[in-house]
Amino acid sequence: MTGQDGFDHLRRQFGTAPSEPPPWLAFVVDDEPGMRRLVSYALRELGIACEDYPSILGMVAGLARRHPDLILLDIGLDGSDAIDAFRVLDEQQFRGHIQLMSGRDAVTMERVKQAGIHRQLKMLPILQKPFRAAALRNVLHQLTQDLLAEPEAAPAAAARPAPPRIALADALQYNWLELWYQPKVDLQKKALAGAEGLIRARHPAHGVLSPASFLPGADEASLLELTRFVMTSALQDWHLLARTGHPMPLAVNAPVTALMGLAIPALIKEHAPKTPRWPGLIVEVTEDQIVRDIPLVQEIATQLSLYNVGLSIDDFGTGYSSFARLQQFPFRELKLDRSFVNDCATNATNRNICQTVIDLAHRFGAKAVAEGIETKPDLATLHQMGCDQGQGFLLARPMPRDELASLLASSAKTPVQPVAALR
Q: What are the pLDDT digits (tens) for 86-113?
A: 998 988 889 888 989 888 887 888 888 8
Neighbours of 24 (CB within 10 A): 24
All domains of the chain in start order, with CATH: 3-158 (3.40.50.2300), 168-422 (3.20.20.450)
Per residue in 67-93, pLDDT (tens digit) is: 888 899 998 877 778 888 899 898 888
Write down the pLDDT at residue 299. 84
Q: What is the pTM (predicted TM-score) of this model?
A: 0.64
Per residue in 215-269, pLDDT (tens digit) is: 888 888 999 999 999 999 999 999 999 999 889 999 999 988 888 888 888 898 8
Go through 81-92 and write b for each residue having 16 or more CB atoms within 10 A of its CB, e for each that does not: ebeebbeebeee
Q: State the average pLDDT for the chain.
A: 82
Contact between residue 73 and residue 98 where contact means Cβ atoms under 8 Å apart: yes
Write down the pLDDT at residue 138. 64
Neighbours of 216 (CB within 10 A): 9
Residue 195's alpha-carbon distances to 95, 180, 305, 389, in angstroms, are 26, 9, 19, 11
Pick out the chain residues at pLDDT < 50. 1-22, 151-160, 320, 414-418
